[in-house]
Amino acid sequence: MKKVLLGMSGGVDSSVSALLLKEQGFEVTGCTLELFAGSSCCNINTYIDAKNVCNQIGIPHFTFNYKEEFKKYVIDDFINCYANCKTPNPCIECNKYMKFGIMYEKAKEMGCEYIATGHYAKTEYSEKYGRWVLKKSNAGKKDQSYVLWNIPKDLIEHIVFPLGDFESKDEIRKIASDHNLKVANKPDSEDICFIPDGNYKKFLENNSEINPKEGNIVNSKGEILGKHTGLYNYTIGQRKGLGISNPVPLFVLGFNPLKNEVIVGEESELYKKEILVTDINLLLVDEIQELLDVTVKTRYSSKEAKAKIIQDGSNIKIIFDEPQKAITPGQSAVFYIDDIVLGGGKIVK
């Protein structure tokens, strides 16, 4: 019997994943990672919910403390990004280092060949590419392949995503309800897990040396238009809360950290035809040797855009067919060929 270690948050997705894996003939062990005290995905209630589900369906459950590692790989990166005027996506770091890094090492220790999570994504062997691939799920807007681009490609054949073929969360809740799981109607966690109240600015002020530091708001010509309350309080594309009266709406275009300036401009200035990404991770090929037609997502919630990409050493240049709005350094650009994740990287500029 194939052994699998399932990451469980106490939510309905991972709980139903446990049911499905058992039905598919896996020997399932559930585990919950302790990552940050008081977070939305690892607090006393999540441990209890996960353990109760495991007890109900007859599988073992363990809790592992990885708070130090989470701080090192996820929280410190989150703080460092904002300190350098970038906008991070901590879920991507957590997936790379925690769920598909440390948890996989724990799985091997426990004699498990596979790991599983409740992500909406798929893995399968592709005859065309002669390797295991990461693919979009059938869940449309709920597909989570975007946040998985940074996982080690050698790991793909050892990952199971039980929810990959489902089209809606309603289907998952119905399975949970049909099996009398108490978590069937548990609400989704939408915020950054270690900032349950959603106030990332307060979190930065309380957990780092980042504090309000007034500076100038300028246009692209360097003309002073107003004052800001600290660079970390603003995001690219932001329109509201600038405190500037202007004949046409102004948006945040970027930052000059050396001068402690927020740069603003008109909406037309927000669009970019070409961007550069670094820290690349290619899952489908080992190297991109010529211009390649792909679709690209630059945010989890954004639509895919047609583009061409080319690799230059450790960077990838993206040339969009149509200019894209509010490209944000620190976010991830993820490349797709049809429904397969080619890879991705961190946006530099």
Provide the 3-class DSSP secondary structure of residue 122: strand
CATH code at position 220: 2.30.30.280
Q: Are residues 258 and 276 in the same domain?
A: no
Would you say residue 200 lies in a domain?
no
Would you say residue 198 lies in a domain?
no
Q: Are residues 150 and 174 in the same domain?
A: yes
At 190 the pLDDT is 67
CATH code at position 287: 2.40.30.10
Q: What is the pTM of this model?
A: 0.93
Asked whether the predicted pLDDT for residue 296 surpasses 90, the reply is yes
Q: Express each pLDDT in 271-290 by its tens digit.
A: 999 999 999 999 999 999 89
At 291 the pLDDT is 95
Q: Under 8 Å CB-to-CB from 206, ≥6 apart: which residues?
A: none
Would you say residue 298 lies in a domain?
yes
Asked whether the predicted pLDDT for residue 125 surpasses 90, the reply is yes
At 110 the pLDDT is 96
Q: Are residues 300 and 159 in the same domain?
A: no
Q: Are residues 112 and 218 in the same domain?
A: no
Angle at 162 between CA 157 and CA 163, to 5 degrees: 125
Would you say residue 191 lies in a domain?
no
Q: Express each pLDDT in 177-214 by its tens digit.
A: 999 888 888 887 767 888 888 899 999 999 999 999 99
Half-sphere exposure of 134 (CA within 13 A, CB side): 31
DSSP state for residue 23 in the 8-state scheme: H
Would you say residue 41 lies in a domain?
yes
Least confident interval from 34-48, 52-66, 156-170, 221-235: 34-48
At 196 the pLDDT is 83
CATH code at position 44: 3.40.50.620
Q: Are residues 285 and 217 in the same domain?
A: no
Q: How far apart are the first and last CA of the chain?
A: 48
Asked whether the predicted pLDDT for residue 331 surpasses 70, the reply is yes
At 45 the pLDDT is 77
Interhelix angle 169-178/12-23, nearest 10 degrees: 70
Q: How confident is the model over 145-156, as a mean pLDDT? A: 96
* Domains contained in the chain, number: 3
| Percent with pLDDT over 90 in the chain | 86
Catalytic residues: 94, 193
At 2 the pLDDT is 95
Q: Are residues 145 and 47 in the same domain?
A: yes
Structure tokens at 19: 């049911």
Would you say residue 192 lies in a domain?
no
Q: Which domain-ending residue is among 246, 265, 284?
A: 265
Q: Are residues 292 and 322 in the same domain?
A: yes
Arithmetic mean of pLDDT over the chain: 94
Q: Which domain-ending residue is among 250, 265, 280?
A: 265
At 140 the pLDDT is 87
Q: Are residues 244 and 331 in the same domain?
A: no
Asked if residue 4 lies in contact with residue 26, where contact means CB atoms within 8 angstroms, the answer is yes
Which domain, by its residues, includes 141? 3-185
- The Cβ of residue 318 has, within 10 Å, a number of other Cβ atoms equal to 24
Q: Which domain-ending residue is among 231, 265, 299?
A: 265
Q: Express each pLDDT in 37-72 by its tens digit.
A: 766 666 677 888 999 999 999 999 999 999 999 999
- Rounded CA separation 254/331 (Å): 14
| Percent with pLDDT over 70 in the chain | 98
- Rounded CA separation 272/346 (Å): 16
Would you say residue 73 lies in a domain?
yes
Asked whether the predicted pLDDT for residue 136 surpasses 80, the reply is yes
Q: Are residues 138 and 218 in the same domain?
A: no
Q: Are residues 23 and 110 in the same domain?
A: yes
Q: Are residues 219 and 151 in the same domain?
A: no
Q: Are residues 178 and 36 in the same domain?
A: yes
Would you say residue 64 lies in a domain?
yes
Q: Express each pLDDT in 75-114 by its tens digit.
A: 999 999 999 999 999 999 999 999 999 999 999 999 999 9
